[in-house]
Structures are given as structure tokens and as C-alpha cells.
Structure 1
Amino acid sequence: METLATARRRPHLVLAAAVLALAYSAVTGVTQPQPAAAAAKFAQPISNAVWEAGMTYSIMWTDGTPGSRSLRLMKGQATALQQVARIATVDGASGTYEWTVPADLPTDDTYAIALGTPPDIGYSGQFTITRDGNGAPSPVGERPPAPMPAPVPTRP
């Protein structure tokens, strides 16, 4: 076995070993494992938003992985979401999709939206879809009606 003192006298051998290790990695594809890409983070819908069936809303996210990704409507307990419908296939880096909520979805407050596939998958917060039109509007994306001007006083 070579000692450190012997290795210092032969630096060309240390360099040759490093070059061989690099060549082996390039040929075999054996490298250090890479961390999984970050999952998309949803900006809309936010937790507890209320979306009305039949209306169009913007689904918005950041940090999506480029390429074709599945955008899906999920429902159920946060730890056991089940797919309800495939919304669309989108470019994960696009960051937005205009979606018309199907009019036949039942009212429920455990909906969520998923983008991607494991391990690169992101989920929105859980939100409500209502069919009765009596739900509160989503806090983002809708404008309140303009205030009415105050009446002008008249003099007799």
C-alpha cells in the first residue's frame, strides 16, 4: 500500500487517478445523486378561496419545471387527495392557466389543484367549489363593485 510520503513523490499518479475517475463517471453515467427539482408553488387558488362552478379563473404557480406537466383537480383529505379530473397538460414553467370550472362539479370545500408527477409535484391549498352561486368570491382576481357617488345636495 502506498503511503502519503510516496504519493507526494508521484503527483502524476494522483492526477492520473483523478482523470480516470472522471472518465469512468462520464462513460458509465455514475455520478453523485442530484436533488429532485422543486415542486411548483401555487399563488392561486389560495387556501379557503371560493370558486363558482361555471366561472373562469386563473390558476397561477411559480417554480414549475419546464416541459409538459399534468394539471389536475384533486379532492379529499389533505393527506389522501384523489384525482377528480385532468384539467389540462401545460408547460410547467408557464405559470398560469385559465380554467373554466365545470358546471357539474358538486359543492365541496376539499378541492385542490396538483401540477406535475412525483417526486416533482406541487399542490394548491384546499379551496371550495360551489354550484349555488352563494359562495364568497375568491379574495384575488375579482373586483368589488365601484362605490356609488354621493348625492349632490340641492338648495330649495
Structure 2
Amino acid sequence: MDDVDETPDSVLAARARTGDAAAFGALVVRHQPAAIRLATIVGGSLDDAADIVQEAFVKAYRALPQQRDLVSATPLDPEAVALATTDAQLLIAALARLGERDRQVIGFRYFAGLTEAETATALDAAAGTVKSRTARALARLRQELDRSGVRGD
């Protein structure tokens, strides 16, 4: 694949959806460093983060044939993209200010998409404990976001 660095993500995603493994690989190469940084903030360990990200990319690749067409034919609004990027940066910064236990439970539940039971297994905790930890961690995350000036709708 020539000029992969200049190919927009939307084009690579469309190609990947048609079975182009090289296009999916290009997306992985492009986004893996940022994904690992986020997973490290959430999970704490670089080795664990790399494993989580690898597993997420494998799941994404396997799910491609079942996905509806998520690639929009219309270009994105640059202002909306800038706002979303800023919000994501504020979220990452707020997560980084939380304690490790809070980052882990939020990471497993909302970034990795694990159920309460799966999170309980991963954390070696009871499901009820995961439920209460999640509620408290989300409350602390909301406080951090409020301090950053981010308001939820």
C-alpha cells in the first residue's frame, strides 16, 4: 500500500471492512501508540496496556465483517473534530489524576467493555464490589472533569 501515511483513516477503514488486512494494519500502526498511552493511564502497567490494546485490535478486526457501514461519505466538521479532541484530552488528563483502582475499574468497564462479572474476575473482587467501586470511581471522575471545566449533557 503506497502513501499509507497520507491515506485518511476513513479510506483505510473502508478498505479494512472489505477485507484489506494491510489497510487494517496501517490503522493499527497509526493508532497503536495513542491507544497504548491511554491504556497505560487507565491500567497502569505498560505490559498490560500493550496486551489490552493488542486484544482490542484483534477483536476489532474480527468484528469488521459484522459492522454496518460506519464510514461517512461526508467530510467531518473540523470544529467538531477539534472539540472532540479537546474533550478526549481533558478526559485522559482527568483519568490520569485518579487513583489506580479507579482507573482500572473505569478502564475495564468502559474502555475494554467488560461486564461487571468479567471486571470482578479481572480484579479478583466480588461483583458487588465492582459495582460500588465503579460508582465511586465515576463520581470522582465527574469531579475531576468539573474541575477541568467539562460539563456532561
Does TM-score exceed 0.5, indicating one fold? no
Structure holding more strand per residue: 1
TM range (shorter): under 0.3
* Bigger-Rg structure (1/2): 1
Relative contact order higher in (CA < 8 Å, ≥ 6 apart): 1
TM-score, normalised to structure 1, is: 0.19
